[in-house]
Structure 1
Amino acid sequence: MTPMQTTAKREIPFWLLAAILCAVVVLWSIIADQGYQTIFFALSRGVSTTLYVTLVAFTLSVCLATVVVLARVSPLRVLREVATFYIEIVRGIPMLVLLFYIAFVGAPWFVDFFNWGMNPLIELGLFGKMTVRGFDFTWRAIIALTISYSAFIAEIFRAGIEAVDRGQVEAAKALGLGRWHTFRFVVAPQAFKLILPPMGNELVAMIKDSALVSVLGVQDITQLGKVYSASTFKFFETYNVVAFLYLVMTISLSLIVRWLESIMGRSMRETNRHRR
């Protein structure tokens, strides 16, 4: 281990100490102040909604991004052009605009299309007619987040795949591995180590962007904070707690991603050392 590495390992993360100090101050306020306690318990009900929207949307985004990136790197030009069109258009639309579009334009279109396609079964009484009001706003928000983030995640996947040394791909082909086996055993494991940090950043960003679903009335942390502060006029205390709850989630996730990144970095160094 070099002196520089030793020094880096011994560095004290002052930013983390400062964040912990702020968290301790807020926690003490919650414990000691009855008003803060009331606010905290009122807003904590929205944590489950925030986490639910984020985790479901992120999972669906990864699945959709996988399909998009496979088309993006496909040898067929038509698929590449369609995937590129999707990525560039979606990335160019602000998240809030896309949220409104899916919630108030896409959802009614989907309901009309569903009723048209299922009309024979609806007439037979096998299905009930779907209404726009019956389309849950939480799922409208999840769909909007999924579409928006899938475009960004697809580009992360593409960058990770293209960062793998082409010589290794050629060597796999020379050994007789097919396209799928080359991707599965050679490209994917190396690409995963490269895309882990930006994927962690995207998940953190999605937790923060999930606050936008409050404009649809979804009962997440932000929406509950808006309602509580509007009824009590305790804006300072309420938004202190809102920020605290989001920071606990985002900083905890960032630390987990850094920990996984350090573990994978050590495994890569050990692998390279064994190869030598």
Structure 2
Amino acid sequence: MEKNNTSDSSYDSRPSIAKQVVSVPKNDIEKKVPTAIQMTDGVLIPNKNDNHVFNSWRITFALAIVLLGSLVIFFPEPYRAIFLVVIKGAPTTFQVTILAILGAIFIGLFTGLGSVSKSRLVNMISGVYVEFIRGIPLLVQLIFIYYAMGRLFQIEGMSAAVAALSICFGAYMGEIVRAGIQAIPKGQMEAAIALGLSRGQAFRYIILPQTIKVVLPAIGNEFISMLKDSSLVSTIALSDILRKGREYISRTFLSLETMLIVALVYLVITLLLSRLVGMLEERLHRNG
């Protein structure tokens, strides 16, 4: 009997012990809510409110400037000579990038609108274009447009480079525009139509301005990615930064020194553009 009483008393005490073990304060549970992790294959635009990103950008930019300046100033042979040759390709790089980003935005706008269109045919055409272009590497598209289509349409180096970059990045830009439009609540379109606006007016004055704010960071990342991918135009004999460096290597065989200067020049330009895009985004949000 005593054994049974002991067993029963220990059994009755188990729920209280379990409660003590598994009970966790509510505040501790709320503090441990997992945060979402955002991933992107583009360049992270520095935000003034993000101290880690801004400090990382500032340190990286300072190191790049100090290293590039030290090599050019204190080691004129061969680094200053390399820099003076490589920097001559910067205008071509910027020209290709700016023209291509304008073309990509134009193509991406129509692709994004087609992706959200109620017409099944237009929607399907936009989807096929996006999937088709994203499945082919940019270098293959560039070579195909320059060598294959160049025979039919007499496309020159600059035109081929701009066309290839515009067509390739236009597919990605279309997905960005589509996501930006779908991020706007549908009730705003319905409210605008209820106030007497047509669908075109509602889109132009209500939806599109808000979409620009949503997609601007992604467009900035695509612009910076395009600047880096513009180095591929050196394969079709355009005298960009990389092409100038390769020509210098063919004359002097200083591959390590030349590629170091080319990499630092691209790094400085990319960091500057990422900061400018971040400032533009902050100003746009500040002005409403």
Task: Answer yes or no: same fold by TM over 0.5.
Answer: yes
Give the drift of 1:67: 2.1
Identify if the C-alpha distance between structure 1 residues 8 and 109 changes in structure 2 by more than 3 Å, giving closer, same or farther: closer
- 1:154-177 alpha-carbon deviations (Å, 9 max, x no partner): 110110011001111111111111
Quick check: 1:164 aligned with 2:184?
A: yes
Quick check: 1:229 aligned with 2:272?
A: no
Identical columns (%)? 36
Equivalent residue for 2:13? none
1:39 to 77, 82, 89: 82
SS in 2 for 1:13: helix
Equivalent residue for 2:94? 51
Identify if the C-alpha distance between structure 1 residues 12 and 137 changes in structure 2 by more than 3 Å, giving closer, same or farther: closer
Question: 5 Å matches for 1:41-190?
Answer: 41-111=84-154, 135-190=155-210
Across the aligned residues of Structure 1 and Structure 2, the Cα RMSD in angstroms comes to 2.0
- 1:134-173 alpha-carbon deviations (Å, 9 max, x no partner): x321211111111101110011011001100111111111
1:217 to 237, 247, 270: 237
Q: Normalization by structure 2: what TM-score?
A: 0.78
For 2:129 and 2:211, how far apart are their aligned partners in 1?
A: 23
Count of paired positions: 240
For 1:68 and 1:265, how far apart are their aligned partners in 2?
A: 26
1:159 is matched by which residue type in structure 2? A
SS in 2 for 1:200: helix
2:61 to 5, 11, 19: 19
1:252 is matched by which residue type in structure 2? L
2:280 is matched by which residue type in structure 1? L
Quick check: 1:195 aligned with 2:237?
A: no
Identify if the C-alpha distance between structure 1 residues 94 and 234 changes in structure 2 by more than 3 Å, giving closer, same or farther: same
Query: Which segments of 5 or more consecutive residues in structure 1 lack a partner in the other structure?
Result: 1-5, 112-134, 269-276
Equivalent residue for 1:262? 282
2:128 is matched by which residue type in structure 1? F
Give the drift of 1:9: 6.0
Query: Which segments of 5 or more consecutive residues in structure 2 lack a partner in the other structure?
Result: 1-47
My pick for the range that moved more, 64-73 or 211-220, is: 64-73
For 2:56 and 2:205, how far apart are their aligned partners in 1?
A: 40
- 1:39-80 alpha-carbon deviations (Å, 9 max, x no partner): 111111100000011111111111122222222222221111
- 1:3-54 alpha-carbon deviations (Å, 9 max, x no partner): xxx9956996044223312321211210222221111111111000000111
Query: Is the contact made by 2:64 and 2:267 (CA closer than 8 Å) also made in structure 1?
Result: no
